[in-house]
Amino acid sequence: MPTTLAMDAEPSRSDFRPDAGSRVLVVEDDVPLAQLLRQQLESKSYTVSVVHDGESARQAIQDAKFDLIILDLNLPKLDGVSLLKLVRPSQPRLPVLVLTARSRVEDRALSLDTGADDCMVKPFSFVELHARVRALLRRNNGPVSRVSRVGDLTLDREERRVERNGRRIDLTAREFDLLEFLMRNHGRPVSRTSLMEDVWNMPFDPSTNVVDVYVKYVRDKVDLDGERKLIRTIRGVGYVLSED
């Protein structure tokens, strides 16, 4: 049954997200809603897979590693509660966010008692959905360490110090925050939208190239001639910091 969603505008301040690029499985038999969820999540730089029944979801979870499951309860072939009972013994820490059209408290309580980490009732707000997804992934990721290293590049969050192969790299406050975000997500593509929201704490404006300008500033300081290029542009997506 089609679901009407509240399409709120995103707030200007969003939480820092070290989870961009996390793999999310959407299990939803309402095809238009499933595609809308995919679009919304991909706009936040998550990697999204979609299935439309419980049996396909069970197989997908067996075949691949996911960081989060978004699960409808009313599914063909295998309902959401039954799927939870099958998944939980083998993956006790996998975050599961249940979406349900069932408004009864008892139904939501059953989902949580069966193993769901959170539950939202349809129709829902995408602003709230994004916040709950971030919270579940943060909880699962654990604390961020003081020092991040990618190859010979080191970033110390407490001292706000960056070095590469013993060479001190002087960055402005904004450049440091941008590099920190890339290093938290090393190996994962991040979009310009994610950078604008998490580094500048502002909604993305496609008419400005401020993100590209600052990435160039950072890249010019981090990747000198003769050094392996760590910061790369991914056409149509954004940027990635990686040794590969």
Angle at 62 between CA 60 and CA 64, to 5 degrees: 65
Domain check: are 152 and 116 in the same one? no
Q: What is the CATH number of the domain that holds 97?
A: 3.40.50.2300
Please give the average per-residue pLDDT across 130-157, as a whole number.
81
Beta strands 23-27 and 68-72 are parallel
Torsion of Cα atoms, 64 then 70 then 73 then 74, to 10°: -80
pLDDT in tens, 185-217: 888 888 888 788 778 867 677 888 999 999 999
Domain limits for position 151: 147-241
- Percentages helix, strand, coil for the chain (3-state, rounded to 5) are 35, 20, 45
Last residue of a domain, one of 117, 141, 165: 141
Residue 161 host element (H or E):
strand 161-164
pTM above 0.75, yes or no: no
Residue 11 lies in a domain: no
Domain check: are 123 and 154 in the same one? no
